Amino acid sequence: MPEKSVAASETLLFPPELDRRYPVAVRGEGVWLEDAAGKRYLDAMSGGSMALTLGYGRQDLVEAARKQALRLSYVHNDVLTNPPPWLINE
């Protein structure tokens, strides 16, 4: 089980407040995050992260990403592209 909170100096991220302890997020479902202490948070701030506006724990998105990663995990779109999933014969 992860620590319930970490000091700013203990995280690999650059925290906005250096003298504070931060809760450790361990899971998400829909619009909710849960920390290691079991406290739930309504995530109304992930719009800036773009993809998170779709919600956490979406098994349909996990499966689509898994299928794509098995085919081709990354293509830089500067000179190449890849077909959308609905045009690929399974």
How many folded domains does the chain comprise? 1
In which band, very low, low, confident or very high, does the pLDDT at 26 lie, cut at 50, 70 and 90? Answer: very high
In which band, very low, low, confident or very high, does the pLDDT at 81 lie, cut at 50, 70 and 90? Answer: confident
Average pLDDT of the chain, as a whole number:
80
> Where in the sequence is the domain holding 78, given as residue range(s)?
5-87
Which helix (H) or strand (E) element contains residue 62?
helix 59-71
Indicate the pTM of the whole model: 0.59
C-alpha distances in angstroms, 87 versus 15, 29, 69, 82, 83? 43, 30, 16, 10, 6
- 54 or 19: which carries more pLDDT confidence? 19
